[in-house]
Structure 1
């Protein structure tokens, strides 16, 4: 995708809302627009599918100039997800997801298959959710359906305008992880607007930090922006704790996931005792009937159980997926009394655990990388200054010889 001199002027306004934006977005990458409120990032996004008509410039998608084609046809080729999902309240989940395929003339059987495929892709059981209405869904479920609708017609480009901004922090983390997983499977070209720099680091292959009128302050990888912000404006977005923010660049799948003894709620109490004794550990993980983490059980809990696990043990308060960042995992470990976090699959099923020692080793490695990069940067600066000084002295000597 290419944006060439993209500009938007509103009548009666002295300055353009978006001024001469030039950007190339590679196929299959996720690019994040981040910047202060009112800088024009959402306006720029909406010009790509011409929900807002550009005043000047060009937009090319796959080499095709889309500036002059029918905007309705364009929007059917570009997925669009917004904050609060934007679902039609009078339509069922199935009708919402199947809307664009139906408008483009797909057969009913194909639409039905695609709707079920999309629900499964975003982690919702088709048998449970097909006939529901948006009001019967949680905020996180609505956002998942919104993403499924945006992807239903298999568009090459997906535009996302602060799609997770209206949900609680825990749901937001899980939706971000879901988007990362989806992108690994689908390889769409995604342009995503947010004001949250941590979200930008977590999701983006590249980040465009935008000033007023969508002027690009820096357009680079998250690593490059964290380690070498272009100026004070960009540094303000990075904020303090750049090393900790880099934990958003590594995933749980990048570190060692270990296993621990598990039992289910249907396991007899004596068998749980035997499993705990045989494991040589002080605790065991109780799974529910869907194989999802439920409670941490310790020896003392079992002694007090008195034949029932109903009140025994400590509830698992948070879990992470393989696609969660190490920062998410660290927060989960710190809030869980066990000192470790359970790792789960697409439907919440238990996979393994990640512990504090593993995460702290990763933190130390990142801090060491930052220290070495800072030393290398300082050495490069000193080398440059030395070369400049030498050149100035040579110039002065040459001038003296001429005189």
Structure 2
């Protein structure tokens, strides 16, 4: 995270428990957790372990049976729950937008409820749409049914953030969209968090998503018992027990690709042209001998087509029929895993990198990615060797002490004859 001031508030869960009548065991049992201001904490665990129940108790959509919830310096366990929910952003799977309201009306809902003036509300709606990468002029008056699943989720996040809450709760918000859209929504959330520094508590069943998004991950057993609460890297390299290892799964080294971002590796420039450029200038650029290919950008500077030499000739000088459409892009906040998957599906072994509203930034290629993968695997190999060496030294020490009649834990078994 960048060194900016966090606008989020700390959260403390103290001995939080939820019991439902008629059930022998609590759904959530004596959970205590400290979440720092501006931190993204992921709750991950098997279905039915109580992670969503724990999340919903924070804004008291579910009332705790016992325990305390603190947001900032305030104990929110006993205050008006409706007022509390207006101070805490909440985003859920399938966005939860009101279908009879426009995009603008959905986003404006909570600011109006808390008494903001119309001019401030209108300004905030425009700001929020821009923040989540949607053109206010295009989306302001649309209804949810007129949006794609990914666009609905963006509006859902914009609505959750509209009243500038210090805390954002997210309950599997990207679980209902396709994998490519999901990757882009995750990248968007990372970018937003760089700018806003809210305190985010995020529920998912997807451990790869947890690694990608979390500053820290709480791996939960049944009844929300915490098996391990640590950074993604610490959990990948030192899982606390077999239960956590099961969540990490095979290929921990490759999962570390989710810890490195495209912005951390070499993004190179690439020859570009615009659909608004004269055809002759594009043709001259391709014939100049300095490049075999250009990336054609649309009117908003978004990647549109890859154009090679001869494409214009074969298409008889028409951009409509020339080149290959850009099917996939990654953002600067995408992980190396996202970029590697995109590059592997591209015949030329490269992918365009985009910024706000999909505007072109550069290109990342296979050579750059494979060099980074090699470095990660080599680092893991060295770590494994060091760990093995430490274990061997430990065993040798225990053997030596045992031969000398000394308990390795301290104390003597007796003097050797």
Q: TM-score range by the shorter chain?
A: over 0.9
Deviation digits for residues 105-131 of structure 1 (CA, Å, limit 9, x no counterpart): 111111111111111100111111111
Q: Report what 2:3 is aligned to.
A: none
> Which residue among 221, 230, 237 is the counterpart of 1:220?
230
The answer to whether the aligner puts 1:42 opposite 2:52 as a matched pair is yes
Which consecutive segments of 4 or more residues in structure 1 shift more than 6 A?
none
Q: Which runs of 5+ in 1 are unaligned?
A: none
Is 1:264–1:289's contact at 8 Å kept on the other side of the alignment?
Answer: yes
Quote the offset at 1:402 in angstroms.
8.9
> Which residue among 251, 254, 259 is the counterpart of 1:244?
254
Is 1:291–1:350's contact at 8 Å kept on the other side of the alignment?
Answer: yes
> Which residue among 56, 59, 64 is the counterpart of 2:66?
56
Go from structure 1 to structure 2 and tell me whether the alpha carbon gap of 1:279 and 1:104 turns closer, same or farther (over 3 Å shift): farther
More helix by share: 1
Query: Secondary structure of 1:98's match?
Result: helix
Aligned length: 403
Is 1:261–1:279's contact at 8 Å kept on the other side of the alignment?
Answer: no
Q: Separation in 2 of the partners of 1:32 and 1:57?
A: 21
Q: How does 1:104-143 map to 2 (within 5 A)?
A: 104-143=114-153
Query: Secondary structure of 1:4's match?
Result: strand
Query: Secondary structure of 2:310's match?
Result: helix
Q: How does 1:172-191 map to 2 (within 5 A)?
A: 172-191=182-201
> Which residue among 80, 95, 100 is the counterpart of 2:105?
95
Query: Secondary structure of 1:54's match?
Result: coil
Q: Report what 1:6 is aligned to.
A: 16
TM norm structure 2: 0.93
Q: Which moved more, 1:187-196 or 1:279-288?
A: 279-288
Deviation digits for residues 183-230 of structure 1 (CA, Å, limit 9, x no counterpart): 000000000000011111110011111111111111111111111111
Q: Separation in 1 of the partners of 2:79 and 2:317?
A: 71
Query: Secondary structure of 1:280's match?
Result: coil
Q: Report what 2:379 is aligned to.
A: 369
Q: How does 1:136-215 map to 2 (within 5 A)?
A: 136-215=146-225
> Which residue among 302, 312, 333 is the counterpart of 1:302?
312
Q: How does 1:254-293 map to 2 (within 5 A)?
A: 254-278=264-288, 280-293=290-303
What RMSD in Å do the two structures reach over aligned CA positions?
1.5
Query: Secondary structure of 1:90's match?
Result: coil
Q: Separation in 1 of the partners of 2:14 and 2:43?
A: 16
Quote the offset at 1:390 in angstroms.
3.6
Go from structure 1 to structure 2 and tell me whether the alpha carbon gap of 1:169 and 1:400 turns closer, same or farther (over 3 Å shift): closer
TM norm structure 1: 0.97
